[in-house]
Amino acid sequence: MKVKALSRSAADYARETKSNIQRLPRNVDPVLHPLERAREYKRALNAAKLERMFAKPFLASLGGHIDGIYAMAKNAWDLDHITTGSGDGEVRVWSLSRQETAWRAPGAHRGMVKGICNVPGGSTGRFLSVGTDKLAKVWSRSEGAVMADGTTPEPVATYNGKHAFGAVDHHRSRPLFATSSSLVEVWDVDRSEPIANLTWGADTVNTVRMNQTEVNVLASCGTDRSIILYDLRTNSPLAKLVMTLSTNAIAWNPMEAFVFATANEDHNVYTFDMRRMDHATNVLRDHVSAVMDVDYAPTGQELVSGSYDRSVRLWDAARGHSRDVYHTKRMQRVFCVKYTQDNAYVLSGSDDSNLRLWRARASERMGPKSNRERATIEYAEKLKDRYKHVDDVRKVLRQRNVPKAIKRASQTKHDMHASRRRKEENERKTARAGSKPRAPERSKAILGVTSK
Amino acid sequence: MSAVGKLANLPSKDGAQFTKGISAASPEASGVSANEESDSEQLPRTLRDAPAKSDRKKTKKPNKRDTQSNVTEEEDEAARELLQRTQKYKRGAEVGGKVRSKKAQAGIDHAQKRRAEAAKAAARSEMLLTESSGYLEAEGTERTFKFTQRQIADNVDIASTEKMFNLKLDEFGPYSLKYSTNGRHMLLGGRRGHVACVDWRNGRLGCELHVRETIRDVCWLHNESLFAVAQKRQAYIYDHTGAEVHCLSRHIEPTALGFLPHHMLLASTGLTGKIVYQDVTEGRVAGEHRAGYGPSHVLRISPYNAVAHVGHGNGIVTLWGPQQPQALAKVQCHRGPIHALALDSSGTYMATSGLDGHVRIWDIRRFEQLHEYRTARPAQALDISQRGLLAAGWGRSLSIWKDALATRVDAPYMRHQLAADVSSMGFVPYDDVLGCGHAQGVASVLVPGAGEPNFDALVANPFQTPRQRQEAEVRMLLDKLPADSIQLDPTFIGRMDPRSRAQQHSDSLADAQARHAASRAAGAHLDSAVRNKTKGRNSTAKRYARKRNANIVDLKRLQEMERLEKDLRESTAKRRKGPLPAHETGALHRFYAEKNNTR
C-alpha cells in the first residue's frame, strides 16, 4: 500500500516574523479562476470609474498680476521657476513648489509684455522680455542693480527696436535671440542693433520660435496666415506655408527636431513635418474657439493647448482628439500654456490675471509609491487599455463635463461640419464623376507651400 | 431541550473534541511530520519538473557527439512536455485568417504572440508549485477499495489522521453539511433544527444554535462570517456568532440552497418549485423563476459558469440563470425523481443520481450522457472533488470512483461504511477529505488524491488571516459581477461578432425564415397574432400589443420591406432606361442617364 494524503503545515504558510509580508502562494490553473474574463472586464470598468473619480486636475491658482497673463516661459535648467509677463507690463518669476512669487519687476515694460524667454545655461537665471513699448530687456534674478526704491529691479541690458515686439526666443547655444515685430529680427546680445532682418511679406509677425535641436532653424507665423521657416546660417527663409486662417503660436517638438505644432485661429492644432509641409501630420480638433498657445511635453508625445474658449486641452500627439479638458468657472481666455519639464504638470495663464497649475494626468497622484501600489496602477492601466473599446468602459473614460458654452458650441460645430459634408456629398452626386475629389482633412486648411 | 452547547457536550469523536478554545489537532504539534512529508515528496517532483538545467549538467560526458544527442533528446522531451502543459493555459482558440488593415493585423499578431508567451510562462511557473497531490496505490494483489480508513490511518502522517473523525449527533439528524470555499470551516444543519459552524481542523466551534424548526439545507455565503439556513417556511441568514441577521421571506419553503460567490447571489429552490435568486449585498431579489415541475430538492451551482442546476421530480434537470425567465437548458436525466447532482469545476461533467438506481455522467457542454453506473440503492448524495473523484452515497455505503468521469471504470477507488444512512456529502476544497452528513451525525473520511494540492491564496486561502479575509471581502464586492452576466458559455464577454453587417442581416433573415417555416409546420400563423382591424372594443392591452409588435421584425415584415425595395429598384431602373425626350435639354437633363455615365 502506497499512500499519501495532503498535509500542509501551517508553519509553511505563515510569515516568520510580523515584519515580513504574508505568504501568498499562487496557482494560475484556469480551473481555479472561473469567470475570469467577466471579472477582468468588471475590474476594467472599476478601474475606469476610479480614474474618473480621482480626476482632480486643478492644483493651484497663483494670483499676483493685476492684468491678464500674455507671456510665459519655462526654464529647462530650473524646474521650480516659471516666468510670466502681464498686460500691465509686469514681469514675475514664480516658485512652483512654494506657489508664490519669487521675483517681480513691476513696470518692466510700458504697455503689454508680449514675449518672455529664458537664456539657456541657467546659472545666471537670466531671461529676456519684450513688450509693446519697442523694448527688449534682459533680466536677472541674481545679478543686476535695484532701483532707488530698493525693491524694483533694473534690467541687465536693454535693446531698442523699431516696432512693437510680438515675441522673443533665444538661440540654444549661441548668444543670439530673435524677436518678432513687423519682421523677424535676429539680435546679438553684444550689439544694440539687430544683426539680421528676416522678412517674407508679412505685415505683423505673431510669434517666432527657435528650434532647440536643429538650432539654426527658426519658425515664425504672421497675420498674413503664413508660417515661415528661416535658416540662421544663411539668414534667409527656407519655406513658407500659407493656411486658411492665421496661426497664433508655434511649438517645436523637443524630441523630433523636424516636427512642430501650430495653434490656429480655426480652432485646431496642426502638427507638421518641416520637410514636407503640403499636409499636416496630424490635426487635433476639439477646441471651439481660436487656439492661442500650444506646447509640447518634454517627451514629445503629448501636447497642451490653451484656447479662447476658456479651456485647456491635453492631447496625445498621435491622436485626433484631446484626452482631457481642463476648465474652471473663473478661468477666462487662455493666452499661454506650458508643459513643465518634469512632464507632470501643466501651467496656464489667462485673461483673469491668474497663473494656474494643473496636473498633466488628472487622476495621478504625486509622491513615492509602494511596489504594490505601482503594480495596481499598472494593472489598472493595462485593463483600461484592453477594454477601452467596450461601450461601458469607453463611455466612462470619455465622459467630460464641460461648460455649457463649450458644449453648445461643440454641438453647433458638429452640426455645421455634418451639414457641410452633406452638402459636399450632394454636390458630388450631381457633379461629373471625379470633378469634385474629396480633400483629406490634413491638407484642407493648407492653401500652399513655397520653398526657396 | 435547548441544543445550544450540544456539540460541546458530545465528545464522541475519536481524537479531537469540538470544544471551544481547545485545539486537539494543533498545527504546531503536527508541523514537523508534515514538513518531512512534503520535503520528501518535493524532491522527485522538482527533479521531474525541471530537468532542463540540472540534468544537462550531470549528463556532460567527454564524448562530444554522444552528449549532444543526449542533450537534444532531453531538450526535445522537455519542450514537448512544456508544449503539452501549455495547452491547459491557452485561453480560447487562436484567431485565424487575415484582416485587411495592416495595422490591425499587426495588433492581432502582437496580441497572439503575447498570449502564447503568457501560456508558456504559466506552464513554466508550474515548477514553483510546492505541493504535490495525494495518492492511494495498491501493491501486488491489493485493491485500493479494500483499504479501510484504519489501514490508511496507519500509513499516513499524524496530521492527516486528525482529519478522520466521527461526530455522534444522534438527536437532531440527519445532517446536511457544507464547507467554506477555502475548506477551513464546516457548516452543519441537522434536520431537526440544530445548526453549528466549526473550524474543523482546529476543532474550534464557531457557533451553535437551535432554530426550533425543520432545517432542510445550509449554505455559507461569501465567507465564513455569514451563512444561510433553509428552514421550514423561509430561508434565514445568520452571522458567525449565531445571531439571526435576515429573514428571506421570498424563499418560501426552501429545500436546497446554493451561493454564487462571484455574483454574490443566494439561490434556492423549494417545495413551491420556484428558483429564487437574492442579491446578498443589496437584498434585492435578482430573479424568481417557476420551473413548473413541482417541488424540487436538488440545487447545485456550477463553479465554471455559475449556472444553477436544479433536479426535479420527473427526472429533468433544468439549468437557470438569474435574469433569464426561461431555463437555459432542460435535460431529461432519469426516469424517476432526481436524488442528487454534482458538478465538476471545469464545467465539463455533471453527475446525477435518480430513483432508478443509476448514477449517470453527462457532458454538460453537449448535454450528452457519457456513461452510467449502477448503485445498489438509489444514491442519496453525490459530489465531485477538485481533482475529479466522484463520490456517491446510498444507505450507509460510500463509494468513491477515480477517473470515472471521462471514462467508465469498473471498480471503485475507495469504499466506506457510515454509522447511519447518508444524507449529504461534500469534498473539502484543497484537502483530501470527504465530509458526510448522516442520520446520526457527521463523518470525515480521508480520501487521498481528492483535493487540489496548490491553492491560490488570492482565490481561497486555507491559512487566511482575519485581515486577509477583510481585504478579500472588499475585493469580492468590488469585483462583483452583474447577475445578467450569467450564460452557459462564460467566455462570451469580450468576444466580438466576426460577421459583417451584411452577413448578420442575411443570417437574421434566414433565422426568421426558419422560425416561420417551423411555426407554419407546427400549425401556427405568425400574422394572426395581433390584427390591426379588430371587432369589438379597442382595449388598451390590444393597443399596447400592436404597438409592441411594431418593433418586431418578423418574416412578414422583412418580406414586405424586400418587396418595397424591389419596387423602388425597378421603378428607378425603368426611369433610367427610358429614352431621352427630345425636348429635355434644360436643367432636368442630368436626371436622365447617359450611356457613358458609369456612376
Distance from CA of A390 to the nearest CA of B (A): 8
Calculate Rg over the CA atoms of chain A.
Answer: 27
**Same domain for A370 and A273:** no
Alpha helices in B89-187 (DSSP H): 102-124, 149-155, 158-161
Candidates A126, A56, A60; CA nearest to A98 is A60
Candidates B211, B210, B198, B222; CA nearest to B442 is B198
Q: pLDDT band at residue A21, thresholds of 50, 70 and 90?
A: confident
The cell for B251 is 424563499
Query: Is residue A387 assigned to a domain?
Result: yes
CB–CB of B136 and A35 under 8 A? no
pTM for the model: 0.81
The least confident of B286-290, B319-323, B329-333, B558-562 is B558-562
Query: CA A385, CA B200: separation in Å to the nearest integer?
Result: 45
What is the reported pLDDT for A76? 87
The DSSP H or E segment spanning A357 is strand A355-359
Query: Is residue A370 assigned to a domain?
Result: yes
| Average pLDDT, integer, range B493-521 | 80
Distance from CA of B192 to the nearest CA of A (A): 34
Please say if the pLDDT value at position B526 is more than 80. Answer: no
A31 contacts on B by Cβ (under 8 Å):
345-346, 386
**Test the B interface: residue of A22, A35, A372, A432 with most B CBs within 10 Å:** A35
What is the reported pLDDT for B599? 43
In A25-182 the beta strands, taken as DSSP E runs, fall at 58-62, 69-75, 78-86, 91-95, 100-105, 113-118, 126-131, 135-140, 157-160, 167-170, 176-180
Closest partner CB to A32 (pick from B139, B459, B463) = B459
**Same domain for B529 and B424:** no
Does A6 contact chain B (CB < 8 Å)? yes
Does A10 contact chain B (CB < 8 Å)? yes
Query: Is residue B253 assigned to a domain?
Result: yes
Residue written as grid cell 485561453: B91
Please say if the pLDDT value at position B436 is more than 90. Answer: yes
**Same domain for B303 and B391:** yes
Query: Is residue B169 assigned to a domain?
Result: yes
**Same domain for B523 and B425:** no
Residues 6+ away with beta carbon under 8 Å from A51: A363, A380, A384, A397
Alpha helices in A294-390 (DSSP H): 371-386
Query: CA B231, CA B153: separation in Å to the nearest integer?
Result: 37
Average pLDDT, chain B: 83
Between residues B592 and B224, the one the model is more confident about? B224
* pLDDT (tens digit per residue) in B227-264: 999 999 999 999 999 999 999 999 999 999 999 999 99
Kindly identify which residue of chain A lies nearest to residue B476, measuring between CA atoms.
Answer: A39
The cell for B318 is 433544468
Please say if the pLDDT value at position B531 is more than 80. Answer: no
What is the reported pLDDT for B429? 95
What is the reported pLDDT for B29? 35
Between residues B7 and B420, the one the model is more confident about? B420
Candidates B388, B378, B376, B398; CA nearest to B443 is B398
Cross-strand bridge partners of residue A239: A229, A451
Q: B64-86 and B102-124 are packed helices; what angle lies between their axes, rounded to 10 degrees?
A: 110
Are B305 and B490 contacting, i.e. CB atoms less than 8 angstroms apart? yes
Query: Is residue B461 assigned to a domain?
Result: yes
Q: pLDDT band at residue B54, thresholds of 50, 70 and 90?
A: very low
| Average pLDDT, integer, range A148-156 | 74
What residue numbers bound the domain in which B569 lies?
A: 501-591
What is the reported pLDDT for B559? 79
**Test the B interface: residue of A7, A18, A31, A386 with most B CBs within 10 Å:** A7
Q: Which residues of B183-207 are buried (b: 16+ CB within 10 A; e: fewer)?
A: bbbbbbbbbbbbbbbbbbbbbbbbb
Does B42 contact chain A (CB < 8 Å)? no
What is the reported pLDDT for B585? 63
| Average pLDDT, integer, range B367-391 | 94
The DSSP H or E segment spanning B46 is helix B27-49
Query: CA A335, CA A350: separation in Å to the nearest integer?
Result: 5
* pLDDT (tens digit per residue) in B539-557: 777 777 766 666 666 777 7
CB–CB of B131 and A39 under 8 A? no
DSSP label of B281: T
Does B544 contact chain A (CB < 8 Å)? no
Query: Is residue A172 assigned to a domain?
Result: no
Residues 6+ away with beta carbon under 8 Å from A364: A344
Query: CA A105, CA A127: separation in Å to the nearest integer?
Result: 12
Q: Which is it for strands A446-451 and A236-243: parallel, antiparallel or unpaired? A: antiparallel
**Same domain for B310 and B220:** yes
**Same domain for A381 and A308:** no
Please say if the pLDDT value at position B171 is more than 80. Answer: yes
Please say if the pLDDT value at position A62 is more than 50. Answer: yes
State which amino acid sits at residue A366: M
Query: Is residue A121 assigned to a domain?
Result: no
Query: CA A31, CA A43: separation in Å to the nearest integer?
Result: 20
**Same domain for A372 and A332:** no
What is the reported pLDDT for B274? 94
Handedness of CA B367, B372, B378, B380 (dihedral sign): negative
CATH of the domain at A315: 2.130.10.10
Query: Is residue B153 assigned to a domain?
Result: yes
Residues 386-415 of A with CB under 8 A from B: 387, 390
**Same domain for A253 and A352:** yes
**Same domain for B238 and B368:** yes
Q: pLDDT band at residue B222, thresholds of 50, 70 and 90?
A: very high
Distance from CA of B89 to the nearest CA of A (A): 7
CB–CB of A1 and B131 under 8 A? no
Query: Is residue A77 assigned to a domain?
Result: no
What is the reported pLDDT for B494? 73
Does B478 contact chain A (CB < 8 Å)? yes
The cell for B276 is 429564487
The least confident of B17-21, B208-212, B498-502 is B17-21
Residues 6+ away with beta carbon under 8 Å from A29: B88, B452, B454, B456
**Same domain for B297 and B150:** yes
The cell for A216 is 539654426
Query: CA A337, CA A211: separation in Å to the nearest integer?
Result: 18
Distance from CA of B138 to the nearest CA of A (A): 5
What residue numbers bound the domain in which A49 lies?
A: 37-55+363-399
Closest partner CB to B31 (pick from A5, A11, A43) = A11
Candidates B235, B307, B322; CA nearest to B271 is B235
What is the reported pLDDT for A391? 87
**Same domain for B443 and B519:** no
Q: How far is CA A156 from CA A85, A125, A145, A159, B228, in A?
A: 17, 12, 8, 10, 83
Query: Is residue A315 assigned to a domain?
Result: yes
| Average pLDDT, integer, range A395-420 | 95
Would you call A421 helix, strand, or coil by DSSP? helix
Are B388 and B405 contacting, i.e. CB atoms less than 8 angstroms apart? yes
Q: pLDDT band at residue B33, thresholds of 50, 70 and 90?
A: very low
Please say if the pLDDT value at position A191 is more than 60. Answer: yes
**Same domain for A318 and A367:** no
Closest partner CB to B156 (pick from A3, A38, A39) = A3
Query: Is residue B34 assigned to a domain?
Result: no
Chain A and chain B share a number of CB contacts under 8 A equal to 167
Query: Is residue B155 assigned to a domain?
Result: yes
Number of domains comprising chain B: 2
Are A202 and A187 contacting, i.e. CB atoms less than 8 angstroms apart? no
Candidates A164, A179, A175; CA nearest to A230 is A179
Query: Is residue B567 assigned to a domain?
Result: yes
**Same domain for B385 and B313:** yes
Does A9 contact chain B (CB < 8 Å)? yes
CB–CB of A25 and B304 under 8 A? no
| Average pLDDT, integer, range B383-406 | 95
Residues 266-295 of B with CB under 8 A from A: none
Query: Is residue A71 assigned to a domain?
Result: no
* Residues of chain B above pLDDT 90, percent: 61
A433 contacts on B by Cβ (under 8 Å):
597-599
Please say if the pLDDT value at position B197 is more than 70. Answer: yes
State which amino acid sits at residue A66: I
Does B161 contact chain A (CB < 8 Å)? no
What is the reported pLDDT for B583? 60
What is the reported pLDDT for A284? 97
A26 contacts on B by Cβ (under 8 Å):
456-458
* Residues of chain A above pLDDT 90, percent: 83
> CA end-to-end span of chain A, whole Å?
95
* pLDDT (tens digit per residue) in B555-587: 777 778 788 888 888 887 776 665 555 565 666
CATH of the domain at B154: 2.130.10.10
The cell for B242 is 449565531
**Same domain for B351 and B464:** yes
Please say if the pLDDT value at position B15 is more than 70. Answer: no
DSSP label of B428: P
Please say if the pLDDT value at position A238 is more than 90. Answer: yes
Please say if the pLDDT value at position A291 is more than 90. Answer: yes
The cell for B445 is 473520511
**Test the A interface: residue of B162, B447, B479, B590 with most A CBs within 10 Å:** B479
Would you call B267 helix, strand, or coil by DSSP? strand
Q: How many CB atoms lie within 10 A of CB B78?
A: 17
**Same domain for B512 and B417:** no
State which amino acid sits at residue B368: E
**Same domain for A350 and A275:** yes
Q: B27-49 and B51-58 are packed helices; what angle lies between their axes, rounded to 10 degrees?
A: 60
State which amino acid sits at residue A406: I
| Average pLDDT, integer, range A159-186 | 94
DSSP label of B526: G
**Same domain for A343 and A393:** no
Query: CA B516, CA B513: separation in Å to the nearest integer?
Result: 5
What is the reported pLDDT for B231? 96
Q: How far is CA A399 from CA A156, A305, A317, A393, in A?
A: 50, 20, 20, 10
Query: CA B122, CA B118: separation in Å to the nearest integer?
Result: 6
CB–CB of B89 and A28 under 8 A? yes
What are the backbone dihedrals phi and psi of residue B503, each rounded to the nearest 5 degrees, phi first? Answer: -65, -45
Last residue within a domain, chosen from A356, A390, A416: A356
**Same domain for A368 and A352:** no
CB–CB of B137 and A1 under 8 A? yes
**Same domain for A391 and A296:** no
What is the reported pLDDT for B514? 82
Please say if the pLDDT value at position B529 is more than 70. Answer: no
**Same domain for B466 and B386:** yes
B587 contacts on A by Cβ (under 8 Å):
none
**Same domain for A349 and A275:** yes
CB–CB of A31 and B142 under 8 A? no
Q: pLDDT band at residue A452, thresholds of 50, 70 and 90?
A: confident
Last residue within a domain, chosen from A323, A341, A356: A356
**Same domain for A304 and A248:** yes
* Residues of chain B above pLDDT 70, percent: 79
Query: Is residue B188 assigned to a domain?
Result: yes
Number of domains comprising chain A: 2
* pLDDT (tens digit per residue) in B460-489: 999 999 999 999 999 999 999 999 999 999
> So what's the ipTM on this one?
0.81
The cell for B284 is 434585492
CB–CB of B481 and A42 under 8 A? yes
Please say if the pLDDT value at position B66 is more than 60. Answer: no
Closest partner CB to A35 (pick from B34, B481, B597) = B481
Please say if the pLDDT value at position B306 is more than 70. Answer: yes
Closest partner CB to A7 (pick from B37, B129, B456) = B37
Kindly identify which residue of chain B lies nearest to residue A47, measuring between CA atoms.
Answer: B478
The cell for A43 is 475590474
Please say if the pLDDT value at position B445 is more than 90. Answer: yes
Q: A36-53 and A391-398 are packed helices; what angle lies between their axes, rounded to 10 degrees?
A: 10
**Same domain for B301 and B218:** yes
Q: pLDDT band at residue B95, thresholds of 50, 70 and 90?
A: confident
What is the reported pLDDT for A34? 93
The least confident of A65-69, A326-330, B2-6, B46-50 is B46-50
Does A21 contact chain B (CB < 8 Å)? no
Please say if the pLDDT value at position B11 is more than 50. Answer: no
Between residues B583 and B276, the one the model is more confident about? B276
B456 contacts on A by Cβ (under 8 Å):
25-29, 32-33
Query: Is residue A271 assigned to a domain?
Result: yes
Q: What share of chain B is helix, strand, coil (3-state, %, to 5)?
A: 30, 25, 45
The cell for B426 is 461534500
Q: pLDDT band at residue B530, thresholds of 50, 70 and 90?
A: very low
